[in-house]
Amino acid sequence: MYLSVVIFMPPVLFIDMQTNEFIFTGIICKEGERFTSLCPELDVASEGDTVDEASTKLLEAVTLYLETAIEANLPFLRPVPQNEDPRTLNPEAIIKIFNLKVDFQIKAYA
């Protein structure tokens, strides 16, 4: 008999100041014939016909979400609730977990 334990990790925002990058988590899951993608720190999702398409669309969705949230002065971290996180809900469906890097620039105006 095997016991499987899943530990929930709270969202952490990594910022690489040398390369000006936000580093989030990307998760790809197989759902039927398609692949869904999720950034659990931001609760942003997308989908695609292939793993590559799902991850590319997730990067685009995360970038657009961050641009909008930052320009509107809104909080951008809004993690997926633990009971909806695929790492705890359905870990067998996960195909890939990867670092999702989004570069940024800050400009100050007076």
| 3-state DSSP of 25-71 | EEEEEEECCEEEEEECCCCEEEEECCHHHHHHHHHHHHHHHHHHHHH
Residue 89's SS3 state is helix
- Whether 47 shows a pLDDT value over 90: the answer reads yes
| pTM metric for this prediction | 0.80
- Residues in Cβ contact with 14 at an 8 Å cutoff, skipping those fewer than 6 apart: 22, 23, 24
Domains in the chain, start-ordered, CATH in brackets? 14-103 (3.30.160.250)
Report the pLDDT averaged over residues 87-109.
86
